[in-house]
Amino acid sequence: MGLDIHVNKLSVWYRGHQALRQVSLDVNAGEVLALIGPSGCGKSTFLRALNRLLDEDLGARRTGQVMMEGVDVLAPEHDITALRRRVGMVFQTPNPFPFSIFDNVAYGLRLQGTNDAAALRRTVEESLRQAALWDEVRGKLRRPALALSGGQQQRLCIARALAVGPEVLLMDEPTASLDPLSTARIEELIGNLRGRYTIVLVTHNLRQAARVSDRTAFFAHGSLVEIGPTRQIFTVPQDPRTEEYLTGRMES
Amino acid sequence: MVLHLVALVLTGVAAALFALIIVSLVRQGLPSLTWRFLVGSPNERAGDNGIAPELMNTAFLIGVTWLVTAPLGLLVAIFLREYGFRRRSAVVRPLNHLRATLLSAPTVVVALVVYRVAVGWWHWPVSLATGCLTLAVINWPFMVTVAEQALASVPQSYREASLGLGATRFATAVRVVIPAALSPLIEGWGLAVARLAGESAALVITAGVNVSRHFSLWGPGETLAVHIWYIRTEGVSVNRDAEAAATGVILLLLIAAVVWSSARVARMLSGGEPR
Amino acid sequence: MSMVRDRAPTRITAAATATFAVVGLGLIAALLLGAWPLIGEPRPLANLLGGLWDPLRGAYGLAPFFVGTVVVTATAMALTLPFSLAVAVVLSRPLPDGVRLGATRVLTVLTAVPSVIFGWWGLLAVVPWVRARFGGAGFSLLAAGLVLAIMVTPTLSLLFYQALRSVPRAFRDGSAALGATPDQTLVRMELPCALPLLIQAVLIAVARAVGETMAVQMVIGGQTVLPTGLTSPGATLTTQILTDMSIFPPGTRGHAVLDVMALVLMVGMYLLVRLAERWVAMP
Ligand SMILES: Nc1ncnc2c1ncn2[C@@H]1O[C@H](COP(=O)(O)OP(=O)(O)OP(=O)(O)O)[C@@H](O)[C@H]1O
Ligand SMILES: [Mg+2]
């Protein structure tokens, strides 16, 4: 399942400083697309444009289109809330709310007005299972989420995003703050979610991109340099800048 | 968005109310704001008041109290913060309760006690000196709090670096911690001046509602704030409303200038990042 | 070596701290000492809790002042709460840095506005308004509550704002990314997250309201019988201390009762401090 996304000439400025330049690319339904590139090249900005979290930033201005099912979701009249339900997001540092595990996962559902206890329990369990956290927290759902380990917190945040039934998952360096073991579990999880969700994954870990993604896009200085099947990007990159970056010769 | 709209409206109402208060103060006071008013002495029957002695008394009370309590507050804070006591230790915790309780003590209660001790036991007159003593007791807990919070804002690693080089705790506090805490210290010290300038209830009791012709430590010492209260509640001058308002304008200007400039200096010292 | 060098400054700071403690405890002790003579009288407690205030005849019931303090404080808090919260909410939205800085600085200056100024405003506008609207003299518990509400609003707004600002940006982003509207984020995430600090802010404001003397004294009317309603004049513990200070010199029974009132206020403040500490680690 998942959802096709067509990004058309997306540009973003922060108070006059251009962070994205005319980026056009397609994300296919159900694939894992990795975004790589040097620090500050606009990867996070790209993700935040897709679910319009950029709108919360006073200094940000953007042009271009992001089409989902033939609708430009960046159009001012498009319903932001509906968009964000379809497009979930996982952040670089796990950010569970200081509530119980259950209340964290149920948060998005309750926003939509679901208050039926049985329905909430069902969805919470299902989401935690999908996020491969259920076995570790079953019977402890009333415990504070902040008592979990960093890796568990990140999977909780994934469960929280899954609970509202999104079609797209945006992940901004989800393993950047985790130890290798927790990282491996998240990567495994991404593998399991592939096909059911369209996943856009930002990562600085090139091996991670190689391990989990179907296609990879390389960004530099706010522009899309190259996009293609991951294997091809990593073995026979078309652009010299990509090759420089992959071989570690590019200065960020 | 409904809640946020309501919040915006309520904020607008509150802002308008405060603007109204300030504007009416200025409008009522403006006619009396003359040079004569600033340099003259109160003279109720002539209906031609001045506030020079009050200005003088206010400056004197604030100055002396500030000079006494700022170092005293800093010393207590250094003892509580810089000698390595744990926050919940048997020394720090009760002292913190005491400090916090004194900080919120009604000033009139402090005045009640100082009156008993200074006027009752020591036979001091109701005077500038007694007022200073009262303000010092009122302000000391505030100065301790300001200094404690300022010291607390300095990262522990600064101290470790200095102590690791063999500096004593006091030397570390004076050479490393206080310079690093200067910005919040100055901001807090500015607020202390404003608090002192605005104090009235305690001074009515201890410094009195009169001024003497010749400035004296042992003479009555009415301040600007007390003057406003006095002419507005008990005064008989014909244009007492305008005089009260004019005195209020002067007092407000004084306070705003101190708070604003200390905030500015603090911001400059902190490298300009918003706090 | 370092111990020796440090000895003199250590003694000085320790001595300053000891003096501080002595002054603080001495304050309480002086109040106890002043209140002591009342213990020797017949049934002091019943007398103190009574509703009749006539110290010259030996009746010193404090009920009118307790009622005054509680009613005025409650009125002021109820009135200021929505406004202060509103200001804090508006300030904690994404705003240009300059606007936010300017607004917080104006608020800081407003917290320092002397109480006599608010009392002055109360006499100019609030008392006449109450008189016109509800009849009577205008000097009333309601007028005092109104003036006090205006007076604590800057302080409470600033404290509320600091409480809301303590909620990390990552939480707001997380909530928004789940499709929460700003209202939903506020009610379901920010307010619950900031609750301990919000409660602490309210307690600090209550302490300030209970302790306020001048602004209240100017508009409350100073009547020492039990108030019959919000619009009837009254007195609070603090205003009565101020008013009667000049009437009863130290050593008289009336003054001893003032000491009792002051003690009650100090105990109240101590309880508020401990209560605030229970909610959050101390400021
Ligand atoms: N809120 C903001 N205000 C102003 N400038 C911003 C803001 N967010 C990002 N920028 C700037 O925009 C550019 C792109 O930032 P972005 O966070 O998208 O990069 P990134 O590729 O995610 O970097 P990293 O790999 O370090 O996370 C950077 O130069 C950054 O400094
Ligand atoms: Mg980034």
Which domains, and CATH codes, for chain B?
33-269 (1.10.3720.10)
Looking at the predicted structure, is the pLDDT value of residue B47 above 60? no
| pLDDT for the residue C46 | 78
Q: How many CB pairs under 8 A join B and C?
A: 252
Residue A92 lies in a domain: yes
Q: Which residues of chain C have a CB within 8 Å of the CB of A97?
A: 171, 174-175, 189, 193
What is the predicted pLDDT for the residue at C2? 47
Compute the average pLDDT of residues C211-236. 92
The pLDDT of residue B275 is above 50:
no
Nearest-CA residue for ligand 1 atom 17 is A44
Q: What pLDDT is recorded for position B208?
A: 83
User: Alpha carbon C75 to chain centroid distance?
Assistant: 12
Range of the structural domain that residue A28 is part of = 5-247
The neighbours of chain B, by the rule of 3 or more Cβ pairs under 8 Å, are C
Quick check: C116 and B232 CB within 8 A?
Answer: yes
Are C64 and C196 in contact by the 8 Å Cβ rule? The answer is no
Whether residue A222 lies inside any domain: the answer is yes
Q: For the segment A140-151, what is each residue's pLDDT rounded down to a tens digit? A: 999 999 999 999
pLDDT in tens, B133-169: 999 999 999 999 999 999 999 998 888 888 888 888 8
What is the pLDDT, as a whole number, of residue B44?
60
Chains in contact with C via at least 3 Cβ–Cβ pairs below 8 Å = A, B
DSSP E strand boundaries for chain A: 5-14, 17-27, 32-36, 60-68, 71-72, 87-90, 168-172, 198-202, 215-220, 223-229
Instruction: Write down the mean pLDDT value for chain B.
Output: 88
pTM for the whole thing? 0.93
In A, minimum Cα distance to C186 occurs at A111
Q: pLDDT value at position B274?
A: 46
Would you call C174 and A95 a contact, using CB atoms and an 8 Å cutoff?
Answer: yes
Is residue A117 assigned to a domain? yes
Asked if pLDDT for residue C3 goes beyond 60, the answer is no
Judge whether A252 lies within some domain.
Answer: no
CATH number of residue A227's parent domain: 3.40.50.300
CATH topology of domain C53-280: MetI-like fold (1.10.3720)
- The pLDDT score that the predictor gives to residue C254 is 86
Q: Do C180 and A111 touch (CB under 8 A)?
A: yes
Q: Where on the phi/psi map is residue C138: left (φ > 0), alpha (ψ -120 to 50), or beta? A: left
| Helix (H) or strand (E) segment spanning residue C174 | helix C169-177
Residues of C in contact with B4 (CB under 8 A): 89-90, 93, 182-183, 186
Is some CB atom of chain A closer than 8 A to the CB atom of C175?
Answer: yes
Contact A89 C177 (CB under 8 A): yes
Boundaries of every domain in chain C:
2-40, 53-280
Among the partner-chain residues B76, B100, B205, the one whose CB lies closest to the CB of C273 is: B100
C51 three-class SS: coil
Task: Give the whole-angstrom CA distance, residue B113 versus residue B21.
Answer: 34
CA distance, residue C169 to nearest chain A CA (Å): 10
Tell whether A51 lies on the interface with C, counting CB pairs under 8 A.
yes
Pocket of ligand 1 (CB under 6 A): A 14, 19, 39-45, 57, 59
Whether the complex's predicted ipTM is more than 0.90 is answered with yes
What's the structural domain count of chain A?
Answer: 1
Q: Do C109 and B256 touch (CB under 8 A)?
A: yes
Is the model's pLDDT at A7 over the cut of 70? yes
Please provide the average confidence, as pLDDT, over all residues in chain C.
91
